[in-house]
Amino acid sequence: MRRKEEYEFSFKEPEFAAEKKGVWAFIYDWMDSLIYAVILLLLVFTFLFRVVGVSGSSMNPTLNNGDWLTVSAVPGEISVGDIVVITQPNSLNEPLIKRVIAKGGDTVDIDFLEGTVTVNGQVLSEPYIAEATQTMGDYVYPQVVPEGMLFVMGDNRNNSVDSRSRAIGFIDERYVLGVAQVRIYPFGDWKIDDYE
């Protein structure tokens, strides 16, 4: 009889050990997966895109104060019409979110009486602006954008400090953090430019 009890006892011990090992294996696997997920997220946010918040009303009605956007972090071609995040030092001491109006070599002219912006002799169609451009800034127009630079403006033209002001001026392309891609907050309002 003792041999049977000893056998049962010795048989139960490995079961308990296997069950205990299963819990630790589960915790280890879970932590391992969590670490890989965090590393993957860090790589994505570092090399593919970043999340930025909008502060202020200079991009109304396209972007509103408190919106959150994904911004491509992969260097690429910047196009006229893109909304970009700019880290160039400025008198406001903050990053900027503006729309690219012209690139290096382009000639920008603004008719403040008509409220129109002309690039290389063509009046821009701007369905995204809040109202006609009537705030002048410091520069006399026309202006030729230097090579490697951008001329940017906010969509809320009469309430935006942008390339029309010496406080911002032309933007060196090397200071463009990225191009806005998708609005992630508020939820469900993903598209940035609804006029497209």
pLDDT tens profile 66-118: 999 989 876 678 999 999 999 999 887 889 999 999 999 999 999 999 999 99
Measure the CA–CA gap between 132 and 117, rounded to whole angstroms.
9
Greater pLDDT, 8 or 25: 25
Mean pLDDT of the chain: 86
- Share above pLDDT 90 across residues of the chain, in percent, rounded to a whole number: 57
Domain-by-domain residue ranges, the chain? 1-47, 49-185
Residue in 4, 33, 58, 125 annotated catalytic:
58
Nearest to 178 by CA among 107, 76, 66, 46: 76
Name 194's Cβ contacts closer than 8 Å, sequence gap at least 6: none
| DSSP sequence for 68-112 | EEEEE-S-----TT-EEEE----TT-S-EEEEEEEETT-EEEEET
Measure the CA–CA gap between 52 and 183, rounded to whole angstroms.
10
pTM of the model as a whole:
0.77
pLDDT tens profile 121-152: 999 999 999 999 999 989 999 999 999 999 99
CATH number of the domain at 49-185, out of 3.90.1170.40, 3.50.50.60, 2.10.109.10, 3.30.70.1350? 2.10.109.10
Q: Burial letters for 106-128: b for 16+ Cβ neighbours within 10 Å, e otherwise?
A: bebebeeeebebbbeeeeeebeb
Q: Is 98 in the active site?
A: yes
Q: What is the predicted pLDDT for the residue at 196? A: 53
Greater pLDDT, 64 or 15: 64
Quick one: tokens of 138? 């410091």
Q: What is the predicted pLDDT for the residue at 25? A: 81
8 A C-beta contact, residue 156 and residue 56: no
Q: Is 72 in the active site?
A: no
In three-state secondary structure terms, 52 is: strand
Residue in 98, 103, 160, 163 annotated catalytic:
98
Measure the CA–CA gap between 151 and 147, rounded to whole angstroms.
11
Residue 2 binned pLDDT confidence (cut-offs 50, 70, 90): low
Measure the CA–CA gap between 134 and 175, rounded to whole angstroms.
27
Q: What is the predicted pLDDT for the residue at 107? A: 98
Name 99's Cβ contacts closer than 8 Å, sequence gap at least 6: 59, 62, 81, 82, 83, 84, 128, 152, 153, 154, 155
